[in-house]
Protein backbone atom coordinates (compact mmCIF):
# COMPACT_ATOMS: atom_id res chain seq x y z
CA UNK A 1 0.00 0.00 0.00
CA UNK A 2 3.01 2.28 -0.39
CA UNK A 3 2.01 5.61 -1.84
CA UNK A 4 -1.64 5.49 -0.80
CA UNK A 5 -1.03 7.17 2.53
CA UNK A 6 2.11 9.14 3.12
CA UNK A 7 1.40 10.38 6.65
CA UNK A 8 3.67 9.11 9.41
CA UNK A 9 0.65 9.13 11.75
CA UNK A 10 -1.11 6.17 10.13
CA UNK A 11 -2.60 4.05 12.90
CA UNK A 12 -3.17 0.32 13.17
CA UNK A 13 -6.86 0.46 12.19
CA UNK A 14 -6.11 2.29 8.95
CA UNK A 15 -3.15 0.05 8.20
CA UNK A 16 -5.24 -3.10 8.69
CA UNK A 17 -8.00 -1.69 6.46
CA UNK A 18 -5.55 -0.86 3.67
CA UNK A 19 -4.01 -4.31 3.83
CA UNK A 20 -7.39 -6.04 3.90
CA UNK A 21 -8.70 -4.21 0.83
CA UNK A 22 -5.37 -3.78 -0.94
CA UNK A 23 -6.54 -5.48 -4.14
CA UNK A 24 -9.72 -3.38 -4.37
CA UNK A 25 -7.83 -0.16 -3.67
CA UNK A 26 -5.65 -0.74 -6.73
CA UNK A 27 -8.65 0.20 -8.87
CA UNK A 28 -7.41 3.20 -10.93
CA UNK A 29 -10.31 5.44 -9.87
CA UNK A 30 -10.02 4.58 -6.17
CA UNK A 31 -6.25 4.83 -6.28
CA UNK A 32 -6.29 8.28 -7.88
CA UNK A 33 -8.97 9.36 -5.36
CA UNK A 34 -6.89 8.20 -2.39
CA UNK A 35 -3.68 9.67 -3.82
CA UNK A 36 -5.15 13.03 -2.75
CA UNK A 37 -4.12 13.51 0.87
CA UNK A 38 -7.39 15.20 1.92
CA UNK A 39 -9.42 12.24 0.63
CA UNK A 40 -7.15 9.76 2.40
CA UNK A 41 -7.66 11.72 5.61
CA UNK A 42 -11.45 11.43 5.14
CA UNK A 43 -11.14 7.65 4.75
CA UNK A 44 -8.97 7.45 7.88
CA UNK A 45 -11.60 9.46 9.77
CA UNK A 46 -14.33 7.00 8.70
CA UNK A 47 -12.20 4.01 9.73
CA UNK A 48 -11.32 5.49 13.11
CA UNK A 49 -14.62 7.26 13.80
CA UNK A 50 -17.36 5.72 11.61
CA UNK A 51 -20.19 8.21 12.15
CA UNK A 52 -22.99 8.85 9.69
CA UNK A 53 -21.62 12.36 9.10
CA UNK A 54 -18.07 11.22 8.32
CA UNK A 55 -19.41 8.52 5.97
CA UNK A 56 -21.62 11.03 4.17
CA UNK A 57 -18.74 13.48 3.72
CA UNK A 58 -16.56 10.72 2.25
CA UNK A 59 -19.37 9.52 -0.05
CA UNK A 60 -20.14 13.05 -1.29
CA UNK A 61 -16.47 13.79 -1.89
CA UNK A 62 -16.01 10.59 -3.90
CA UNK A 63 -19.22 11.24 -5.85
CA UNK A 64 -17.95 14.69 -6.89
CA UNK A 65 -14.53 13.26 -7.75
CA UNK A 66 -16.04 10.50 -9.89
CA UNK A 67 -18.37 12.93 -11.68
CA UNK A 68 -15.40 15.17 -12.51
CA UNK A 69 -13.60 12.19 -14.09
CA UNK A 70 -16.66 11.21 -16.12
CA UNK A 71 -17.39 14.80 -17.12
CA UNK A 72 -13.79 15.39 -18.18
CA UNK A 73 -13.90 12.24 -20.28
CA UNK A 74 -17.22 13.32 -21.82
CA UNK A 75 -15.85 16.76 -22.69
CA UNK A 76 -12.72 15.26 -24.22
CA UNK A 77 -14.78 12.87 -26.35
CA UNK A 78 -17.24 15.58 -27.36
CA UNK A 79 -14.47 17.96 -28.41
CA UNK A 80 -12.60 15.20 -30.26
CA UNK A 81 -15.57 14.00 -32.32
CA UNK A 82 -16.86 17.51 -32.90
CA UNK A 83 -13.44 18.48 -34.27
CA UNK A 84 -13.57 15.52 -36.67
CA UNK A 85 -17.09 16.45 -37.84
CA UNK A 86 -16.07 20.08 -38.22
CA UNK A 87 -13.08 19.10 -40.35
CA UNK A 88 -15.35 16.99 -42.57
CA UNK A 89 -17.78 19.89 -43.00
CA UNK A 90 -14.97 22.26 -43.96
CA UNK A 91 -13.59 19.82 -46.52
CA UNK A 92 -17.05 19.18 -47.95
CA UNK A 93 -17.73 22.92 -48.18
CA UNK A 94 -14.44 23.53 -49.97
CA UNK A 95 -15.13 20.68 -52.41
CA UNK A 96 -18.59 22.02 -53.24
CA UNK A 97 -17.43 25.62 -53.55
CA UNK A 98 -14.33 25.41 -55.67
CA UNK A 99 -13.23 28.81 -56.92
CA UNK A 100 -11.77 29.98 -60.21
CA UNK A 101 -8.50 31.15 -58.77
CA UNK A 102 -7.38 33.34 -61.65
CA UNK A 103 -10.51 35.49 -61.81
CA UNK A 104 -10.41 39.10 -60.66
CA UNK A 105 -12.01 39.88 -57.31
CA UNK A 106 -13.43 43.21 -58.45
CA UNK A 107 -13.93 44.63 -61.93
CA UNK A 108 -11.15 46.94 -62.98
CA UNK A 109 -8.65 45.55 -60.46
CA UNK A 110 -5.69 43.30 -61.25
CA UNK A 111 -5.87 41.39 -57.97
CA UNK A 112 -7.00 37.79 -58.53
CA UNK A 113 -8.54 35.37 -56.05
CA UNK A 114 -5.35 33.34 -55.76
CA UNK A 115 -3.43 36.51 -54.89
CA UNK A 116 -5.90 37.25 -52.15
CA UNK A 117 -5.84 33.69 -50.76
CA UNK A 118 -2.07 33.87 -50.52
CA UNK A 119 -2.13 37.15 -48.62
CA UNK A 120 -1.24 37.39 -44.95
CA UNK A 121 -4.51 39.17 -44.15
CA UNK A 122 -6.63 36.27 -45.45
CA UNK A 123 -4.58 33.64 -43.62
CA UNK A 124 -4.83 35.51 -40.31
CA UNK A 125 -8.58 35.80 -40.82
CA UNK A 126 -8.86 32.04 -41.25
CA UNK A 127 -6.95 31.37 -38.05
CA UNK A 128 -9.46 33.47 -36.13
CA UNK A 129 -12.36 31.71 -37.84
CA UNK A 130 -11.27 28.09 -37.44
CA UNK A 131 -9.57 28.10 -34.02
CA UNK A 132 -12.26 28.94 -31.48
CA UNK A 133 -11.16 29.11 -27.85
CA UNK A 134 -14.73 29.13 -26.56
CA UNK A 135 -15.61 25.75 -25.06
CA UNK A 136 -19.26 26.16 -26.09
CA UNK A 137 -18.24 26.13 -29.77
CA UNK A 138 -16.85 22.61 -29.38
CA UNK A 139 -19.92 20.97 -27.83
CA UNK A 140 -22.34 18.69 -29.66
CA UNK A 141 -24.74 18.22 -26.73
CA UNK A 142 -27.42 20.94 -26.75
CA UNK A 143 -28.27 20.43 -23.06
CA UNK A 144 -24.62 20.82 -22.10
CA UNK A 145 -24.34 23.87 -24.36
CA UNK A 146 -27.32 25.47 -22.61
CA UNK A 147 -25.90 24.61 -19.19
CA UNK A 148 -22.56 26.23 -20.04
CA UNK A 149 -24.38 29.49 -20.87
CA UNK A 150 -25.71 29.64 -17.29
CA UNK A 151 -22.24 29.68 -15.76
CA UNK A 152 -20.52 32.91 -14.80
CA UNK A 153 -17.95 34.46 -17.13
CA UNK A 154 -15.16 33.44 -14.71
CA UNK A 155 -16.37 29.84 -14.62
CA UNK A 156 -16.51 29.66 -18.42
CA UNK A 157 -13.01 31.12 -18.65
CA UNK A 158 -11.75 28.50 -16.20
CA UNK A 159 -13.32 25.67 -18.24
CA UNK A 160 -11.82 27.11 -21.43
CA UNK A 161 -8.36 27.06 -19.87
CA UNK A 162 -8.85 23.54 -18.51
CA UNK A 163 -10.48 21.79 -21.47
CA UNK A 164 -9.46 23.83 -24.52
CA UNK A 165 -5.90 24.69 -23.51
CA UNK A 166 -5.42 21.59 -21.33
CA UNK A 167 -4.11 23.46 -18.28
CA UNK A 168 -4.27 21.93 -14.81
CA UNK A 169 -5.45 23.85 -11.74
CA UNK A 170 -1.90 24.87 -10.78
CA UNK A 171 -1.20 26.31 -14.24
CA UNK A 172 -4.56 28.08 -14.30
CA UNK A 173 -3.82 29.61 -10.89
CA UNK A 174 -0.55 31.04 -12.23
CA UNK A 175 -2.27 32.34 -15.37
CA UNK A 176 -5.10 34.01 -13.43
CA UNK A 177 -2.84 35.12 -10.56
CA UNK A 178 -4.97 33.27 -8.02
CA UNK A 179 -4.30 30.59 -5.43
CA UNK A 180 -4.54 26.95 -6.50
CA UNK A 181 -7.13 26.34 -3.78
CA UNK A 182 -9.35 29.11 -5.17
CA UNK A 183 -9.04 27.74 -8.71
CA UNK A 184 -9.75 24.16 -7.60
CA UNK A 185 -12.79 25.34 -5.64
CA UNK A 186 -14.10 27.34 -8.61
CA UNK A 187 -13.44 24.41 -10.97
CA UNK A 188 -15.33 22.04 -8.69
CA UNK A 189 -18.23 24.49 -8.28
CA UNK A 190 -18.51 24.98 -12.05
CA UNK A 191 -18.69 21.23 -12.69
CA UNK A 192 -21.15 20.81 -9.81
CA UNK A 193 -23.38 23.54 -11.22
CA UNK A 194 -23.33 21.93 -14.69
CA UNK A 195 -24.25 18.58 -13.18
CA UNK A 196 -27.16 20.09 -11.22
CA UNK A 197 -28.48 21.92 -14.31
CA UNK A 198 -28.29 18.80 -16.50
CA UNK A 199 -29.82 16.54 -13.82
CA UNK A 200 -32.70 18.98 -13.26
CA UNK A 201 -33.46 18.98 -16.96
Q: How far apart are CA 56 and CA 50, in angstroms?
A: 10
Note the pLDDT tens digit of each residue in 47-66.
888 888 888 888 888 888 88
Q: How far is CA 61 from CA 52, 66, 192, in A?
A: 14, 9, 12
Q: Has residue 128 got a pLDDT over 50?
A: no
Higher pLDDT, 144 or 102: 144
Q: What is the predicted pLDDT for the residue at 130? A: 42
* Buried/exposed code over 67-81 (b: 16+ C-beta within 10 A; e: otherwise): eeeebeeebeebbee
Q: Has residue 40 got a pLDDT over 80?
A: yes
Give mean pLDDT, residues 96-112.
59
Rg (CA), the chain: 25
Strand partners, 112: 104
Note the pLDDT tens digit of each residue in 134-168.
777 776 677 788 888 888 888 888 888 888 888 88
Q: Has residue 8 got a pLDDT over 70?
A: no
Q: What is the predicted pLDDT for the residue at 30? A: 82
Chain centre distance of CA 178: 19
Contact 139, 82 (CB under 8 A): yes
Query: pLDDT-based confidence at 2, cuts 50/70/90?
Result: very low
pTM: 0.39
Q: How far apart are CA 105 and CA 85, in angstroms?
A: 31
Show the domains of the chain with their CATH numbers. 12-68 (no CATH), 97-133 (no CATH), 139-201 (1.10.10.10)
Q: Has residue 24 got a pLDDT over 80?
A: no
Q: What is the predicted pLDDT for the residue at 121? A: 53
Long-range contacts of 85-90 (CB under 8 A, 24+ apart): 85/140, 90/130
Torsion of CA 163, 168, 171, 173, to 10 degrees: 90
Amino acid sequence: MEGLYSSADINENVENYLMKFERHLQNPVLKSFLDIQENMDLLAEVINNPTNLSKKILDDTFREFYFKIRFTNYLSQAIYFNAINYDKKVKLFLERNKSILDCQINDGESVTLIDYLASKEWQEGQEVCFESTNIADHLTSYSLYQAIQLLTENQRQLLNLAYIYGLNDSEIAIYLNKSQQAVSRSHKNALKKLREIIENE
